[in-house]
Structure 1
């Protein structure tokens, strides 16, 4: 975005900071092989983002902060559980149950006590029990890492704020297939729905829990 865009938004009261709350959880969004393998139809090179995300996940683990991993998986062979969305992108056909594509990337290092949430659509809140899980733990802040910035990360952040949580999107730990879409999504999220934060400040926040 141009400086003019940033100034115009600021003048009209957009982009105010929500701030970290008292009780966080980390949402690791869709770091599955189908998205992290550039050879896959829905994949892209997310090596740098994954490295940063794993550092944040390790900080959360050390501090006892709950972590929830999400993945997209379709269980019906005709993709009926993908609904109309399945018509929009052909790559959805690769995200079938039992396939390598829907397994979490091993680099994430998911531990047995870390819940895996299966979703069918972009938002981790839509059609899942995520909100109830967070409320039952007293969570008020969700730290978002994962992919894609303009898709599932954005949709989850928007739903998070609509459910009363503080969404913190870690800029270096989210990625997209399109650099332009990534930049635009971060700008839009920070102006209206979430705080776009750095890995350094998020790590410090998690370590202080």
Structure 2
């Protein structure tokens, strides 16, 4: 097993911009993201930092603007690969798949924002590429949504995605649980859709 940690879109847009993360509280999720980065560095786990990039005229993630920039605490930590993306999945139209293959990575740990959008899309794509996926429950986060289909709170949205992820696509764990697995070199418990549907989780 060879892990890599992918830190998705921890940019100012989610802190001081138009999309402030609300659940888990962004300062708490940020602290866990930084802990995950530090743990990865200490134990030789490669770290990929992803930055969402949009045209300069975009209202969100406008390339070159303050909101597009990485949060300063992420930016000042070492990483092994920095990549920009333009779609939800970190695999879409990027070099991520080739980079992971070249490093021999077979297990991808997902942290960053937003839970149901770029995090979930990346996790599903990794799963469909045959990788084991780990999803950090307290190092990810989101905000409330409301549209023609209805409304959902940030807490409900985050919780429901975690349940879906752990049913089939990813092993959901806290940062502390993941750090323990990294230190021991052991995998996290694999998701089990049969157990999830039978109420055995």
| Count of residues in correspondence between the two structures | 172
Q: Give unmatched runs, 5+ long, in structure 1.
A: 1-21, 78-91
Match of 1:164 in 2: 130
The structure whose RCO (Cα within 8 Å, separation 6+) is larger is: 1
Whole-angstrom distance in 2 between the partners of 1:63 and 1:114: 13
Whole-angstrom distance in 2 between the partners of 1:172 and 1:112: 21
Whole-angstrom distance in 2 between the partners of 1:191 and 1:108: 30
What is the deviation of 1:112? 5.1
Whole-angstrom distance in 2 between the partners of 1:174 and 1:102: 18
Q: CA RMSD in A?
A: 1.6
Match of 1:63 in 2: 43
Contact 2:12 2:66 in 1 (8 A): yes
Q: Give unmatched runs, 5+ long, in structure 2.
A: 144-153, 186-201
Whole-angstrom distance in 1 between the partners of 2:180 and 2:56: 43
Match of 1:41 in 2: 18
Give TM-score, length-normalised by structure 2. 0.80
| SS at structure 1 position matched to 2:59 | helix
Match of 1:53 in 2: 33
Match of 1:150 in 2: 116
Taking a change above 3 Å as real, the CA distance of residues 76 and 109 of structure 1, as seen in their structure-2 partners, is closer
Give TM-score, length-normalised by structure 1. 0.77
Q: Does 2:97 match 1:131?
A: yes
Trace 1:42-121 onto structure 2 (pairs within 5 A): 42-45=19-22, 46-75=26-55, 77=57, 93-111=59-77, 113-121=79-87
Instruction: Point out 4+ residue stretches in structure 1 off by more than 6 angstroms.
Output: none
Structure with the largest fraction of helix: 1
CA deviation profile, 1:5-56 (whole Å, cap 9, x unmatched): xxxxxxxxxxxxxxxxx1000000110000133xx22222411011011111
What is the deviation of 1:192? 2.2
